[in-house]
Amino acid sequence: MLKKQTIAIQDVYVPVKRRHTLDPKKVEALAESILAKGQEAPILVRPDEGRFVLVEGLHRLEASKALGETTISAYLVQARHH
């Protein structure tokens, strides 16, 4: 079972390919949801040389950044490099 952790947003690296899928409208809607209910679903990251690489949850990450958060809930996973 995955264990939820709190990690620093600044330690999360977003691969270039993932950045191209960003939808500002989704980020805004998620930011409003996070304000109202809190972060309901952790992002997925994999460890990589002193940082974390985003696997899933780009919009949640960006919404948290937009709200001025410095940490985010995440699950640490073992994922293949793409």
pLDDT per residue over 13-61, tens digit each?
999 888 888 999 999 999 999 999 999 999 999 998 889 999 999 999 9
Domain-wise residue ranges, the chain: 4-76
To the question of domain 4-76 being in CATH 3.90.1530.10, the answer is yes
Predicted TM-score of the model (pTM):
0.89
Can you give the pLDDT at residue 59? 96
Give DSSP secondary structure letters for 36-47: HH---S-EEEEE
Can you give the pLDDT at residue 20? 85
For the chain, the straight-line distance linking the first and the last C-alpha, in angstroms and rounded, comes to 24
Render the burial of 22-56: b for 16+ CB within 10 Å, e for the rest. eeeeebeebbeebeeeebeebbbbbeeeeebbbbb
Q: Is the pLDDT of residue 72 over 80?
A: yes
Contact 30, 70 (CB under 8 A): no
